[in-house]
């Protein structure tokens, strides 16, 4: 029998597609408006399904689009980077006499990515965090690493494996046979797969490919995209942010733009603001002494 997931929340998004580009999905913001309570961005959101469909803008034509759905998984290093950025923001506000808890509208919110050619077309994020009053903070910022939560964190993380090493990652040990001029290291195609340090915040996002079609005027064909994990599992998405990367668009008939409708289904969320490496201290209560029975 499949495990019960409980209540499912639905976050809906609409985007006008007139060409290739990037479009952001802010799940925590939509849920905050839906539930009339602050659903903070500093959570790991449990996604149990994503539906995407196309519709015609106007009455003529249709089209097809292909692309990827981007997101960040909540790894140890990424969550630590987010907590570090929030601590910096909290300290800066404290220096100006601002108490974070006084304003119920405030939540520490950073963008998905920014800077350079990967800046999203609809990049506006409500109440986006900034440390200088002008430049917004993002999880990743390719043109300004000082505004990137992950990059700033990684500057203080010492990699165990040196990325500059090539062909010298593995030791060949002793030449025990005495016959080999170059003893083998038992590995071919040597390369660095990761830093070796779990505290490193990987700046490369995860991708899920999709393809959609809507052609009512020609072949009357509709192709929608429905993504579902195993019924007993969920997809963990850091900060509840997705980014739609539209790589190719083809229009049919007289259509010049399409409406992309996205529905993200969430079964719950849990905070990433607590450091899992810090164990809770158990209270040491003195045990009552046993009284000796009088003879």
**DSSP assignment of 210-245:** EEEEEETTTT-EEE-EEE---TT--EEEETTEEEEE
Quote the number of domains for the chain: 1
Which comes out higher in pLDDT, residue 134 or 179? 134
Identify whether 249 is part of a domain: yes
Identify whether 172 is part of a domain: no
Answer yes or no: is pLDDT of 192 > 60.
yes
Q: Any idea what DSSP says for residue 293?
A: P
Strand pairing report for 206-215 and 235-238: unpaired
Percent of the chain residues topping a pLDDT of 70 = 84
Identify whether 167 is part of a domain: no
Identify whether 291 is part of a domain: no
Comparing 46-55, 161-170, 231-240, the range with the smallest average pLDDT is 161-170
Answer yes or no: is pLDDT of 161 > 80.
no
Confidence band (pLDDT; 50, 70, 90) for 1? very low
Given this model, what pLDDT does residue 28 score? 96
Identify whether 234 is part of a domain: yes
Identify whether 188 is part of a domain: no
Given this model, what pLDDT does residue 45 score? 97
Which comes out higher in pLDDT, residue 60 or 89? 89
Dig out the tokens for 46 from the structure: 């449990």
pTM of the entire structure? 0.84
Structural domain including 245 reads: 9-159+195-271
Q: CA separation (Å) from 160 to 12, 145, 195, 197, 198?
A: 42, 22, 6, 6, 10
Q: CA-CA distance, 85 to 207, in Å (whole number)?
A: 25
Q: Residues of 230-264 as b/e, b for ≥16 C-beta within 10 angstroms?
A: eeeebbbbbbbbbbbbbeebebbeebebbebbbeb
Identify whether 3 is part of a domain: no
Answer yes or no: is pLDDT of 131 > 90.
yes
Answer yes or no: is pLDDT of 163 > 60.
no
Given this model, what pLDDT does residue 50 score? 97
Identify whether 168 is part of a domain: no
Q: Any idea what DSSP says for residue 63?
A: E
Given this model, what pLDDT does residue 286 score? 56
Q: CA-CA distance, 165 to 195, in Å (whole number)?
A: 12
Q: Is the CB of residue 158 less than 8 Å from the CB of residue 150? A: no
Given this model, what pLDDT does residue 215 score? 84
């Amino acid at each position: 029998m499949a495990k019960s997931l409980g209540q499912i929340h639905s976050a809906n998004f609409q985007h006008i597609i007139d060409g290739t580009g990037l479009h952001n999905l802010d799940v925590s913001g939509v849920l905050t408006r839906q539930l009339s309570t602050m659903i903070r961005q500093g959570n790991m959101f449990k996604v149990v399904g994503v539906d995407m469909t196309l519709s015609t803008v106007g009455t003529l034509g249709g089209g097809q689009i292909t692309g990827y759905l981007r997101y960040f998984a909540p790894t140890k290093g990424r969550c630590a980077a987010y907590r570090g950025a929030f601590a910096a923001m909290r300290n800066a506000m404290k220096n100006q006499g601002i108490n974070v808890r006084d304003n119920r509208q405030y939540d520490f919110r950073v963008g998905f990515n920014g800077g350079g050619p990967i800046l999203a077309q609809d990049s506006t994020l409500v109440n986006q965090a900034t440390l200088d009053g002008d430049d917004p903070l993002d999880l990743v910022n390719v043109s300004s690493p000082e505004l990137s939560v992950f990059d700033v964190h990684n500057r203080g993380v010492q990699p165990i494996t040196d990325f500059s090493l090539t062909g010298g990652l593995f030791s060949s040990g002793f030449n025990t046979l005495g016959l080999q001029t170059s003893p083998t290291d038992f590995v071919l195609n040597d390369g660095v797969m990761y830093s070796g340090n779990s505290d490193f915040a990987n700046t490369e996002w995860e991708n899920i490919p999709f393809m959609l079609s809507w052609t009512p005027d020609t072949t009357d064909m509709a192709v929608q995209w429905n993504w579902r994990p195993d019924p007993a599992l969920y997809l963990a998405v850091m900060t509840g942010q997705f980014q739609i990367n539209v790589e190719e668009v083809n229009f049919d008939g007289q259509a010049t733009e399409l409406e992309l409708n996205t529905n993200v289904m969430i079964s719950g969320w849990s905070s990433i603001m607590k450091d899992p490496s810090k164990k809770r201290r158990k209270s040491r209560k003195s045990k009552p002494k046993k009284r000796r029975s009088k003879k």
